Amino acid sequence: MTKYYVLFGPPGAGKGTQATAMVEKYNLHHISTGALLRKEIASGSPLGMKAKELIENGCLVPDEVVEGMIESEFRTVKGVDGFLLDGFPRTLAQAEALDRLLAKTGESVTATVSIMIPDEMIMERIKGRALKEGRADDASEDIINNRISTYHKQTEPLIEYYRNAGKYHEVDGTGNIDEVREGVFSVMKLF
């Protein structure tokens, strides 16, 4: 049976770093909405240009666009033991849409792995990433503060949603990469 993991946590928590190890160890296909959107932006398509404008202003791309890209990945990717969703769902509406999407094939989210860090660390890590990777969406303090605020308002309610479903598992993200990875793998071993 295919497994569906949601990788959760605030911006800068290290989701991308940990996702790479999770994909390799557990034969998962990593679906990063950020990467899917960056690919669309790089193509210069109208969708990509609209997404670029929204992202550069610290806003989210419309749900139906992201959901369509994810459903396409589920249908077309073969030869993996499961999928690792990174950056989706970010809202209760998206979580419910994901549940409906998976229910079409009699499946459901296997588990949510949540890497948590405090707000001060979010700011510090995102600023560092902006310098290292040259990401425009990480450069401005106002945009970073907007992303933190958006996370708290729209995404944090997912903790309770997945906790109530018995699928929420939290990992302390304040340690070094190896310490966080050990925490993530200890959760993954449960499934």
Active site residues: 15, 90, 129, 135, 147
Tokens read off for 156: 């944090």
Burial 2-20 (b: 16+ CB within 10 A, else e): ebbbbbbbbbbbbbbebbe
* Full strand arrangement of the beta sheet holding 111-116: 28-32, 82-86, 3-8, 111-116, 168-172
Nearest CA to 117 out of 125, 129, 108, 105 is that of 125
β 168-172/82-86 pair status: unpaired
List strand residue ranges (DSSP E) for the chain, in order. Answer: 3-8, 28-32, 82-86, 111-116, 168-172
Q: What is the DSSP code (8-state) at residue 5?
A: E
For the four alpha carbons of 160, 70, 125 and 21, in that order, the dihedral sign comes to positive
